[in-house]
Amino acid sequence: MNVFLNSGSLQENEDCVSSIVQLGDFFYLSAQLGKGDSITEQAVSVCNEIVEVLSEFDLRFDHVVKFTVYLKNLKDKEEFLSVFKNYLEKPFPAVSFVGVNDLDNGAMIAVEGQGINTLRHEQAHKNSSCSHGCSSCDGSCG
C-alpha cells in the first residue's frame, strides 16, 4: 500500500481543521453540522454536506464504514434515520448514536465518519473483468 496523506478543504468557519483527511486507503470525515429549523431539515443538510465533502476525493456514501451521529435530543434518532436511510445501500455501515448537550452554531445534529477508499480496487476489478481484453478499460469499450 502506498502511504500518502491528503486533506480536503477546510471545515466551514475553521482555519485549521480539514473536512476530510485520507491516509493511504483510509479516510476520516470531520463532523458535519446540520443546518435548518427542524431535525428533518438538519438531517437532509448534513447528509448532503457529507456527499459534498466525500466528492472532494471522488468518494461515495458507501465508502463510509462507520458513522458517529451526535444528537442534542436522542429522541430525534428515528426522524434522522428516516432521512439517513435514503443515502445508504447494503451492506449498511456501522452507526453509533451519542447524546450531547450542545453543538456549534445551534445545530441539533452532527455526523462524522471513517471509511476506506476502494476506488483503485474497484477500477482494477473492472479492468480485470473486461471481456475485450483491454489494458486500460473504463468499462465503456463494449
Domains of the chain: 5-117 (3.30.1330.40)
Q: Is the pTM of this model over 0.85?
A: no
Each residue's pLDDT tens digit, 95-113: 999 999 999 999 999 999 9
**CA 44 distance to own-chain centroid:** 13
Give me the residues paired with residue 18 across strands: 10
Give me the residues paired with residue 33 across strands: 110
Q: What is the pLDDT of residue 128?
A: 66
- Does 6 score more than 80 pLDDT? no
Q: Give which of 29, 22, 53, 8 is closest to 120, Cα–Cα.
A: 22
**Which secondary-structure segment (H or E) carries 70?**
strand 64-71
- Does 33 score more than 70 pLDDT? yes
Task: Read off φ and ψ for residue 95, nearest 5 degrees.
Answer: -140, 135
d(CA 46, CA 36): 10
- Does 142 score more than 70 pLDDT? no
d(CA 12, CA 110): 13
